[in-house]
Chain A
Amino acid sequence: MSQASPIAIERPRAKSKARFFLLAGRIVLGLIFVYAAYTKLHFAGAWHVRDYYFFFAMGIDSYKMLPLTIVQWMAKVLPWLELALGAMLVIGAGVRWAGLVVSALLVVFMIALAHAALGGLEINCGCFGNNSVKPSTELVRDVGLLAVALAVTVGGFLSHRAAKLRG
């Protein structure tokens, strides 16, 4: 009776480990984005679904990077986008596209955070509403999140391709 080689046994184990970490990373990343949206909509002990954008706009404007019209538009849209992307990642719907958009968003956030950190702006990052930290601290955190987001995106595209090949 022939025995499977150790390498042949290790490959499926390594694959399932990778799948597990991708799954865990996807869900954690999704939950972080859902939480980020929540902190922008619920703060100071109350929901601010009708006026959240005033506060978020003030936070975005503190970076001194964008004209007011864009600041106001971003303030209205971003929390809902974060919520939708986070939910998609958590439930596993449209993972590769959600991962791609999340990765792009994180790159944008990191550019803004780097601009604030290098400019010595004494602001809080606004990423998690008034619970946010300094831009330099958040920048380090976002590097980790970007790595996870990229892994989730690549994993999502590879899975999709594998599923297509299988027919």
Chain B
Amino acid sequence: MKRFCVRVLLSVAFGSLLLPTLGAGPRQNSSGSKPAAPAQDLTTLKSVGSREAPITIEVFSDYQCPQCRVFFLDTARQLMQAYIPAGKVYYVHRDFPLSMHSHSREAARWATAAAIAGVFQSTEETLYSKQDQWGSTGKIEDALAGALSPTDMKKVRTIEATQGPQIDAAIAKDMALGESRGVNGTPSIYVFHKGQMTPLPPGGVNYSLLKQYIDYLLQQR
């Protein structure tokens, strides 16, 4: 009995030493600041609205893709203004940089760093609205510096420089998810409602038509 109790105590002690290392994220950096969020949390940082919303819209996009730009500026922004404050839609951004766009992966890295810094929405807005500028030159940092505050830009720069592996892992995770669904172009849009996932026709959607569909779904609940 005594030997048994000792064994149990030793197991608990050994287990308690092991537990902190299981599922651990990246090690703390040398400045001792808070460890970054694990890759799976970055989806939330790149999403807008309430997760409890009856409709989730997931968009796989490429910041250098002209159709993604049109979709974001002409449709997504209106959608977010009309449905997100009311808690009707949860909008999820997924990175899917295409190999044909030479700067899209870098743009995705900057956007992910901005998400960690808490300035994702303004970064996304800047990347799409200034796509013409950085798309041809690759000067993404300059485009963002012109839009974000110096403090925010410094934060984003630091994160981009120090959390590369985590950022790359988050982008790879989004791409793997897209590939598993057969995504081969952008924007690719999925609507989730009552447990059902429905893909929209590839290539972006007119806001009026999307609005009609969302209103129809909302009537179903």
Contact = CB atoms under 8 A, between A and B. Distances in A.
Interface in A24-81: 43-44, 46, 48, 51, 54-55, 57-59, 61-62, 68, 71-72
Size class of the contact patch on chain A? 20 to 34
A130 B199 contact: yes
Contacts of B196: 44, 46
Interface in B162-216: 185, 196-206, 208-210, 212-213, 216
Which of B196, B197, B204, B209 neighbours the largest number of chain A CB atoms within 10 Å of its CB? Answer: B209
Q: Secondary structure of the B side of the interface?
A: mixed
A55 B201 contact: yes
B202 A130 contact: yes
Contacts of A58: 200-201, 205-206, 209-210, 213
A61 B209 CA distance: 9
A156 interface: no
A6 B198 CA distance: 62
B88 to A, nearest CB: 17
B198 A44 contact: yes
Given A44-B199, A54-B209, A122-B185, A62 B216 contact: no
A59 B185 contact: no
Nearest to A61: B206
A68 B216 contact: no
Interface residues of B, number: 19
Interface string B34-54: 000000000000000000000
A122 B67 CA distance: 8
A158 interface: no
Contacts of B209: 54, 57-58, 61, 68, 71-72
B197 A59 contact: no
Nearest to A129: B201
Contacts of A48: 198
Interface string B138-163: 00000000000000000000000000
Nearest to A51: B216
Contacts of B197: 44
A132 B199 CA distance: 14
A153 interface: no
B156 to A, nearest CB: 31
Contacts of A68: 206, 208-209
25 contacts: A43-B199, A44-B197, A44-B198, A48-B198, A54-B213, A54-B216, A55-B198, A55-B201, A58-B200, A58-B206, A58-B209, A58-B210, A61-B206, A61-B209, A62-B203, A62-B204, A68-B206, A68-B209, A72-B209, A122-B185, A123-B201, A124-B202, A124-B203, A126-B201, A130-B202
Interface of A: 43-44, 46, 48, 51, 54-55, 57-59, 61-62, 68, 71-72, 122-124, 126, 130
Given A54-B216, A122-B185, A124-B203, 10 more contacts: A44-B196, A44-B198, A48-B198, A51-B213, A55-B200, A58-B209, A58-B213, A62-B204, A123-B203, A130-B201
Interface of B: 67, 185, 196-206, 208-210, 212-213, 216
